[in-house]
A and B are shown apart, each in its own frame.
Chain A
Amino acid sequence: AQSVSQHNHHVILSEAASLELGCNYSYGGTVNLFWYVQYPGQHLQLLLKYFSGDPLVKGIKGFEAEFIKSKFSFNLRKPSVQWSDTAEYFCAVMLSGSARQLTFGSGTQLTVLP
């Protein structure tokens, strides 16, 4: 079965620092990749997604992620974080094919200090 690993459980940054959250998956076939975000007290929502094409995808609020197939990775980045980026971030993978269910990582809590 496929799995998704997010190695950083909690990241603490100061405002304006650059962010990179790691995500690795274990599956050799064609995958679709996602980052979801959960702001404090709010619902989980889609941040960005990769299906095909340009491996560098841009999402909302200045976030981007790069798919590196050879490394089975889909890391999330933002050049300069803000206090309002404090949230929990979840990487997710969906296999192409009949199952088409999302497998989530365990999440990374990002705390941005003002």
Chain B
Amino acid sequence: ETGVTQTPRHLVMGMTNKKSLKCEQHLGHNAMYWYKQSAKKPLELMFVYNFKEQTENNSVPSRFSPECPNSSHLFLHLHTLQPEDSALYLCASSQDPPNGELFFGEGSRLTVL
């Protein structure tokens, strides 16, 4: 048990669908992250939220839309995705300011048909 829970664990969607990934942390952290993990590529940082405010957006296409309603919850809203967006999406949390120790969820495996 990592203290960071992601749902759903697996998601298959068509390119015209709208879906959301959810992340919840029970660690009392104030920073939350979305990473994309593709095979044989470095983890790609997508978004960072500190105290509910977005502080990082690494040139992520607008078809990915994050939402952080409070310090414990983070969403990633998905719409009109492309097959190349298929990947494992990882949520993480950390204390703020960050010290490099991230606590990851188990990920949401997304397949875009």
Contacts and interface: CB of A to CB of B under 8 A. Distances in A.
A34 interface: yes
A100 interface: yes
Interface of B: 2, 4, 40-43, 45, 48, 56, 90, 92, 97-107
B4 A32 contact: no
B2 A4 contact: no
B41 A43 contact: no
Contacts of B48: 101
A106 B2 contact: no
A44 B106 CA distance: 7
A113 interface: no
B68 to A, nearest CB: 16
B104 A104 contact: no
A78 to B, nearest CB: 21
Given A42-B106, A43-B107, A32 B100 contact: yes
> Do most interface residues of chain A lie in helix, strand or loop, or is the interface mixed?
strand
5 contacts: A43-B107, A45-B2, A46-B102, A102-B45, A103-B45
Interface in A64-100: 90, 92, 94, 100
A46 B101 contact: yes
A103 B41 CA distance: 12
Interface of A: 4, 9, 32, 34, 41-46, 49, 90, 92, 94, 100-107
B90 A44 contact: yes
A4 B48 CA distance: 20
B40 A90 contact: no
A103 B104 CA distance: 15
Given A43-B4, A44-B104, A45-B2, A101 B98 contact: yes
Contacts of A100: 97-98, 100
Contacts of B102: 44, 46, 102
Contact of A104 (B43, B56, B98, B99): B43
A98 B29 CA distance: 18
Contact of A43 (B43, B45, B106): B106
A106 B105 contact: no
B42 A106 contact: yes
